Structure 1
């Protein structure tokens, strides 16, 4: 006879994918009921810790690495690659922005340097702490990137979660300070650009997943190449760049290279690089549009709008092309 506690455990276990339940459900139910008195099973419930553990297992089993049905293996590989590529863009962008900011402030006289320092010290203690956190915490994207590629997963996960925290300030700032509310579309897109890769890294690079590996090059060389591309894109066109200009430019060049130089013979591993790049391109396209939208109709330089629209078109075309390539790759595996 099924007790109420057993029924409740089986209900919670429905969070797991069907393939996993078929092989493990009975064993798991027996383990959960092992030390619970029969007479108390109609008055008991699964603990919050048990529910959280099953929910985490549900995520890991859906983003599987081996031993799972093909769709789950492919999904897990795609999410892991998406997280790796997105964290790389975030890391390179954070370093390049701060290097250029320090270079400009340090080479254009005392007035520029004083303006740089005033941003941290001139608007009250709360704002000073927030400004310092917003300047320093994004550098942890770099820690997360190199930690991930050296298989230090817990360090990588903690680093990217801390690095993403500053994107929540546009929502919390107006509630606790005199900060003027940001454009909601821009603030939301910026938060998604940070938190989706961070959460994808935490979920997909679990302890059963394979070590993260770049499709080409070494971690330092790829990071340096991204930094050079992003820095050049901001220095060559100083009147054009905004928050998404450099990452999107780097993505466009990298994705175009992936399409032009992709191997003729199908890789037998479920790397799903094109699928991951297509997802990242869609995310960057959303951020690009959300960043451009508030400027439309305002007296901004025509070069800025033209460059942003050109980048939007390039992101759209590349994302569509990568989606087609990903579909063909999946069909051919």
Structure 2
């Protein structure tokens, strides 16, 4: 076996094992034929130092996503995981869209642009930013709303492109400010950017085989979400100091724990198979939220209220675990009752489609 074939077979390990068992040899043979060269020296060089092209790797990744995270015509286990990742992505995107939409309304109120509302207290008055980086940060964050709408309407590539506008400027801002010493080094901004990147990559599950997103409920979820989370939170924060101890990872923990509690109180215990995608989706969100909460704990070291903050963070972790562990156990049991992905679940029209 040549080094080129070894590298290609390594990429093929992204595919399900049963699928590889049936189609791997055919795909390898087709790939090696496409790399064949009439010049013996060139052919020997390619065999030793050649690698699958980025287009070839992207094609295999696309096939792996469709096999492992399939649509309605896919095997039950593949479809359940596909729906779970799609639901988790939509919920995460919805959270971003809700928060930025509410922040626009709050900014208009604080700047005195909404005359029919009471004037804000002087302590809440907005001051113009003297840094172009802060301006870029604020404007970039608003891109999550059109990205979410584009995803719901079925324009996945547009949603990914627009979401990048919400990621790149904040990343550049964080790098410049931390390098210049304008802000202390911290983990939280980079952890949030990493989650944003994962969110953009997760949009790949909205592939051509995936079912369309129900538009009406997911679009109505924006105003409902604003009424349930950011506006009450802002109103409480304006009158109390306690909510200011709740940072974004902490707020994420609270929202995920509440969502799981509502889910468990509904039909999940009585209809685990029917609600399996939602259970898996909330489990994925709980895992991501716990990871975010844990990796951002070092930012509390230099805080004056670090003992209080660490105690609150520990409480948040315990609350999410208390909700997520029973849910995950129930979801895994329901998932194991489903048949696995068979070898002939989906045959590509070309060897590396």
For the aligned pair, the TM-score class normalised by the smaller chain equals 0.7 to 0.9
Give the equivalent residue in structure 2 for 1:88: 94
- The reply to whether residue 196 of structure 1 matches residue 198 of structure 2 is yes
Indicate how the Cα distance of structure 1 residues 21 and 175 shifts in structure 2: closer, same or farther if over 3 A, else same. Answer: same
**Is the aligned partner of 1:259 residue 2:260?**
no
Supply the distance in 2 between the matched residues of 1:326 and 1:195 (Cα, whole angstroms): 26
Q: Which has the higher contact order (CA 8 A, sep 6+)?
A: 2
Q: Deviations over 1:269-318 (max 9, x none)?
A: 68521121122123223434555664478544999777666544432322
Q: Which of the two has greater helix per residue?
A: 1
- 1:101-120 Cα offsets, whole Å, 9 max, x none, are 4423434489965x532x1x
Deviations 1:197-243 (A, max 9, x none): 222223x22233222348xx712322222211222123124421433
Q: If the length of structure 1 is used for normalisation, what is the TM-score?
A: 0.77
Alpha-carbon contact 1:79-1:276 (below 8 Å) kept: yes
Distance in 2 (CA, whole Å) between partners of 1:139 and 1:66 is: 33
Alignment of 1:312-323 (within 5 A): 312-323=317-328
Rounded Cα–Cα distance in structure 2 between residues aligned with 1:6 and 1:249:
49
TM-score, normalised via structure 2 length: 0.73
Question: More deviation in 145-154 or 291-300?
Answer: 291-300
Match of 1:226 in 2: 225
Number of equivalent positions:
319
Whole-angstrom distance in 1 between the partners of 2:14 and 2:98: 37
Asked if structure 1 preserves the Cα contact closer than 8 Å seen for 2:272 and 2:334, the reply is no
1:134 alignment partner in structure 2 = 137
Instruction: Structure 1 unaligned segments of length 5 or more: list them.
Output: none
Superposition map of 1:1-333 within 5 A = 9-32=8-31, 33=33, 36-37=36-37, 39-40=39-40, 41-44=43-46, 45=50, 46-65=52-71, 71-106=77-112, 107-108=119-120, 115-117=126-128, 119=129, 122-123=130-131, 128=132, 130-169=133-172, 172-174=175-177, 177-184=180-187, 186-202=188-204, 204-213=205-214, 218-230=217-229, 231-238=231-238, 239=241, 240-241=243-244, 242-262=247-267, 265-266=270-271, 272-289=277-294, 294-295=299-300, 298-300=303-305, 310-333=315-338
Structure 1 residue 174: Cα displacement: 4.4
| Range that drifts further, 222-231 or 269-278 | 269-278
